Amino acid sequence: MAATLLILGIFTVALPVVASEPSTTDQLGWQGSPNRRGTWDIILSCGTTIFACTWSIQHLNVPAAQDGISKKALRSCQWMLITVLFPEFIMAHAFFELLMAIDATKAIEAKVNIAVTYPPLIRRLFLRHTQNNDSEHGKNYKGPEWTLTHSYFANMGGLSFEYTDETDERKCIQFPLTAFQYAEQPDVYATPEIYEDDIKDKGKQDYFAKAIAIVQICWLILSLITRKIRGLAFSQFETLTLGLAVCGVAIYITYWYKPQGVGVPIKVAKQEGSVVPQFLRTYDSFWDVLSNSREKKSSGQVSRIRNDNNSVAKSNKWHMTIIVLAVLSAVFGCIHIIAWNFEFPSDVEKLLWRIATIMSIVVPGLGLTTILLAQFTARDGDPREFLMNCLEPPREFSWFYDDIDATSKAMTTLENIYNNLSSEDDNAQRLYKDILTTNTGSFAPEMLKFIKKESPFEESNSVQLSEKFISQFSFLVELMNDEGPKSLVDSAKTNVFPRRAVIPRWVNMSILYTTNLIYIVSRLMIMALALASLRSMPEEVYITTWTKNLPAIQ
C-alpha cells in the first residue's frame, strides 16, 4: 500500500512538469523498432512484467501429499488468474499473512520454551512496544531458534503432525500443525529441530529469478515516471501494467520472509506420554470473511492449509480484511485514472475506459460495505428467558441419553450461569456449543429431536415448550454446527442469544456475487481496451528515453 501511494504521489508531482520535447497528435498504427521502441517492445516489456507480477510472485502453501503435478500446476494457474483480476486481494492477503506470522511468533515466544528471534526491520515496525532485544524466554534452549520464517512455514502447512496407533496401524492421525496450535499445545508435540536455513533449502525459491522479476518491475515503473517527467505519452497497456507492478513490489516486500515453493512438509511427532491431539482450526479463510460464514467441520482429515488462509477475527468485531481490501481496491483502481485523458482510437473507447475505471474504484467499496452491514445482528428475544427454558430439557432428556454425566454437567453449568446476574462476567459469556458438547460430540441435535418428539423419542413424555423456544433452539443447533452467518455463530452465547441477522444472508450473498461480477467485467474491459488501443497510438509513445539503456527485458 505504501508503494502504491508513493507512485501516485510521484505522478502527481510530475504532472505540471513541462515537456522537454515537442509532442505530436499524429496517430500511428503498428510500429517496428529499428531505431526506437516499437509496439512489440511495449508488449514484450509489459507482458514480462505482468508474468513477474502474477506467476513468479506466487508463495502458495504446501500442497497435500496426494496432489499430483497437474493439480499443482492448475492451482498455480488459478492463482495467476486471481492475481491478474484481483491484485489488491493478493496484496491484502500477503499483508495479513505477515501479521499472522508475527502474532504466531509472539505466541511461540510467550508459551513455548524455545529461543525466539525477530528480523530487525519487523521488530522496528511492528514490535516497538516490546523490549529492544529478543526475549530471553527459552534462553537455555540449545536447539535452533524460532524465527518469523518458522511461523510462516508452519502456518502454510510446512509442519505435519503424524501419529499411528501401535495397537492398530489403521488408526492414523495426520494434519498440518500451525504455529498457533503448536503454541497452544507445546507439551503435546516434539520440538521441531529445524533451522531457518533448512527451511529456505526446502523451498524452491529462485533468488535469481526473483531478482530479475524485481528489476523488471522497477524498470517499468522508472520508465513511466521518466516519460511523465519529460512529457512523453505512454500507452494504456503500460498504465494497466503499472497497477500490477505497484502491487507486485508491495507483495514481494511483504512476502520477503515467507518460504516459496515448499513441496513436502516436515513430520512432527508427539511427545512421549502426551495425549493424542486433534486438528485445531486456528485460521479463517478470505471467503469465510467475505461471505460472513464459517467453513463447515469435516469428518475427514485435514490434508493441507488453504491458500486463502487468514487471521481469525474476534467475535462481534469487524474483520480488518474488509476495510483494508476496500481501501486497496480503491487505490488500485485510481491508478487507471492516469490514462483518463489519453488518446484512444475512438471516443467510445475513451468513454468505456472511464466507465470501467470508475466501476473498479466504486463497486468493490460498495460490496465490501454491504458485507460490514451484514455482520450486524439484532436481539431476537430475552437471553435470560431462553436460558431459563434451556434448564428443563436436559433434565428430562438425561433419562433417554446414554451419557448421564454429560447432561448433568450441562445442567449444572446452565444453572450456574443463570444464577449469575452479571451478564458481562466471563463465566456468563459461554458458547452453548461448549456447554452442550461431550468428548464424542454435541448432544444438542438429539435433545432437539427429544423436544420435538421425533424418532426415536415419539413416545417420550417430553416437556411442554413454546413454539418460539423450539424454533430458537433449532436455530441454535444449526449455529452450533457452524451453519449460518459467522457473526451469529460467534454470538451463540449464553449472555446474548437469541439473535438474528439484520440483513438476510441471501441479500449479502446476492450483493457479493453481483459486485464481484461487475468488478470482473470492469477489469476485463480495462484489459481489452488497453490491448485494443495499441492499434492506434500517438507518435510520442514510441520516442525512447534513457531508461532503454538499463538492463531489462524490452
Amino acid identity, position 25 = T
- Any bridge partners for residue 499, and if so which? 379
3-class DSSP assignment, residue 29: coil
Buried b (16+ CB within 10 A) or exposed e, 181-198: bbbebbebbebbebebee
Closest by Cα among 432, 452, 453 to 443:
432
Q: For the residues 496-511, what does the mean pLDDT come to?
A: 86
Q: Residue 117 region, left (φ>0) first, then alpha (ψ -120 to 50), else beta? A: beta
Comparison of pLDDT for 136 and 396, the residue scoring more: 396
Q: For the residues 177-184, what does the mean pLDDT come to?
A: 94
Buried b (16+ CB within 10 A) or exposed e, 245-269: bbbbbbbbebbebbbbebeebbebe
* Radius of gyration of the chain from its Cα atoms, rounded to whole angstroms: 29
- How much is the pTM? 0.83
Closest by Cα among 449, 423, 422, 418 to 435:
418
Q: For the residues 244-248, what does the mean pLDDT come to?
A: 91
Which residue is listed with cell 494504456?
A: 236
**What are the two backbone dihedrals, phi and then psi, of residue 270, each rounded to the nearest 5 degrees?**
-90, 155
Please check the confidence at residue 492 and state whether its pLDDT lies above 50: yes
Closest by Cα among 507, 487, 506, 503 to 318:
487
Please check the confidence at residue 514 and state whether its pLDDT lies above 50: yes
Assigned C-alpha cell, 272: 512421549
- Going from N- to C-terminal start, the domains of the chain cover 32-129+143-313, 378-501
CA–CA gap between residue 268 and residue 261 (Å, rounded): 20
3-class DSSP assignment, residue 150: helix
Neighbours of 416 (CB within 10 A): 12
Assigned C-alpha cell, 48: 514480462
CA–CA gap between residue 458 and residue 358 (Å, rounded): 61
Please, what is the average pLDDT of the chain?
83
* Residue 421, pLDDT score: 64
Please check the confidence at residue 13 and state whether its pLDDT lies above 50: no
What would the pLDDT profile of 381-430 be if each residue is shown by its tens digit?
Answer: 898 899 888 888 887 787 777 777 778 888 888 888 888 766 666 667 78
DSSP code string of 270-312: BPTTPPPP------EEHHHHHHTB-PPP-SS------TTEEPP
What would the pLDDT profile of 348-386 be if each residue is shown by its tens digit?
Answer: 999 999 999 999 999 998 888 888 887 788 888 898 899
Please check the confidence at residue 90 and state whether its pLDDT lies above 70: yes
- Any bridge partners for residue 293, and if so which? 485
Closest by Cα among 187, 184, 180, 138 to 159:
180
CA–CA gap between residue 456 and residue 454 (Å, rounded): 6
